[in-house]
Amino acid sequence: MTTSRRLPRRHDLAPLLRFREPVLSAKRRRLERALTIDDLRTAARRRTPRAAFDYTDGAADGEVSLARARQAFADLEFRPAVLRDVSRVDTSVEVLGQRSALPFGIAPTGFTRMMHTEGEVAGATAATAAGIPFALSTMGTTSIEDVAAADPGGRHWFQLYMWKDRDRSMALVDRAARAGFDTLLVTVDVPVAGARLRDVRNGMTIPPTITARTVLDALPRPAWWFDLLTTEPLAFASLDSWPGTVAELLDTMFDPTVTYDDLAWIRRQWPGRVVVKGVQTVADACRLAEAGVDAVLLSNHGGRQLDRAPVPFHVLPDVVREVGDDVEVWLDTGITSGQDIVAAIAHGARFTLVGRAYLYGLMAGGRDGVDRAVEILRGQLERTMRLLGVTSLAELTPDHVVRLDRAGG
């Protein structure tokens, strides 16, 4: 059979010739092309010097803990329910007595202005715009007071490392309370610094040390260096300057003698809620619940402390079963998508925190990049809920997400 052919007419071509309006902003083009957190990571790597990028991207020793945490989410199978009305979904959750528009917040991260000069202010303001909490690190590069001033309507939490100098630690706690921070995240998995080998090899310091290697690394990344050299000098907001590497600083600061008695001492002095971050076993979760904390955050510090540590997602169901009626159970480590967040909530987590995902956005585009990271996670979260046939987070159950046999124990 012979196909009949003709020349296309103008009205045939018109619907096909749709030209997009050109986007003149390189940053906007870059962020619009980013459809996943991994896309933001790729953009971040291109724009950020190696030492700063590796500080965010790396983990301890052989980075096994981080790889296993991510694999734990990959080794899942969703079980959708069909023929449900999912025209509307509610992604909000009550966390520590207040509503969060999404079941995740921005995790505390150190040295954030090294990733991008907008630093913690970009994270805090983006979080407030999204209706979620922001946590400021003890090792932050924007002061407690400056975060509060830049984001006066935000919900702010303060993450505390207990130092050997207890008076300085508690002075920070007092400043956070006076600035309106309502929750203290006491981090307990840092008796000493983990062996973050990328940082050691890069000789990472604050501020960055300019050597022949850093000059060569800077050549394809002039925008980062321009921002660094033309804005407020990079320094610790809560600490004195430090001449050595980050690893040396952490080993000098962290206190290996901290115990449950110290936690009780902190709780007596803090007027708000207390969350313990870095819980990795059921036994510790039970003891903390008995101690009366408000939430336990299952975390292995993003794989940055003890390599081959327990995978938080694997520990989650047992912890929820043992203490879920007594305290809120939260989770971080390895979360790079909205699907990961859905899986955590389905297995009993009340809330999650994202660190690297937000920092990749920050490095890729400052505040706009953080907004894009939140937008990506929100979109994936909503889409996954609809595809699973649920309209609220409360409807998620372990039956919606099962571990494949190859995931192991």
Q: Which pLDDT value is given to residue 407?
A: 45
Torsion of CA 41, 44, 50, 51, to 10 degrees: -90
Q: Which residues contact 113 (CB under 8 A, 6 or more apart)?
A: 119, 120, 141, 142, 234
Omega before 108 within 30 of 0, i.e. cis: no
Closest of 192, 195, 189, 193 to residue 62, by C-alpha: 195
- What local confidence, expressed as pLDDT, does residue 241 receive? 54
Of the candidates 279, 291, 377, 292, the residue with the CA atom closest to the CA atom of residue 329: 279
Coil, helix or strand at residue 347: coil
Full-model pTM: 0.91
Q: What digits encode the pLDDT tens for the residues 146-165? A: 999 999 999 999 999 888 77
pLDDT of residue 30: 93
Q: What is the pLDDT of residue 329?
A: 98
Tally of helices (H runs) and strands (E runs) in the chain: 18, 12
Task: State how far the Cα of 388 lies from the Cα of 32, in Å rounded to an integer.
Answer: 27
Rounded-to-integer distance, Cα 115 and Cα 121, Å? 12
pLDDT of residue 343: 98
Helix axes 312-323, 282-291, angle to 10 degrees: 40
Structural domains in the chain plus CATH codes:
27-407 (3.20.20.70)
Check: CB of residue 202 under 8 Å from CB of residue 196.
no
* Cα separation, 370 vs 357, whole angstroms: 9
* 296 and 276 Cβ atoms separated by less than 8 Å: yes
The phi, psi pair for 142, rounded to 5°, reads: -130, 135
**pLDDT score at 158:** 97
Rg (C-alpha) for the chain, rounded Å, is: 23
Q: What are phi and psi of 405, to 5 degrees?
A: -60, -35
* Rounded Cα–Cα distance for residues 106 and 374 (Å): 9
Low-confidence spans in the chain with pLDDT less than 70: 1, 13, 16, 19, 205-212, 214-215, 218, 236-252, 406-409
Joined together, the tokens standing for residue 132 give 């979620």
Question: 74 — alpha (psi -120 to 50), left (phi > 0) or beta?
Answer: alpha
**Catalytic one of 156, 301, 347, 400:** 301
Whole-number Å distance between alpha carbons of 151 and 159:
17
- Distance separating alpha carbons of residues 395 and 389, to the nearest angstrom: 9
Inter-CA distances, 347 with 205, 229, 330, Å = 40, 46, 11
Cβ contacts of 145 within 8 Å, gap of 6 or more: 175, 179
* Residue appearing with tokens 């889409």: 383
Residue at token pair 């002075």: 171
Active site residue 301: yes
231: phi then psi, degrees, rounded to nearest 5 = -125, 180
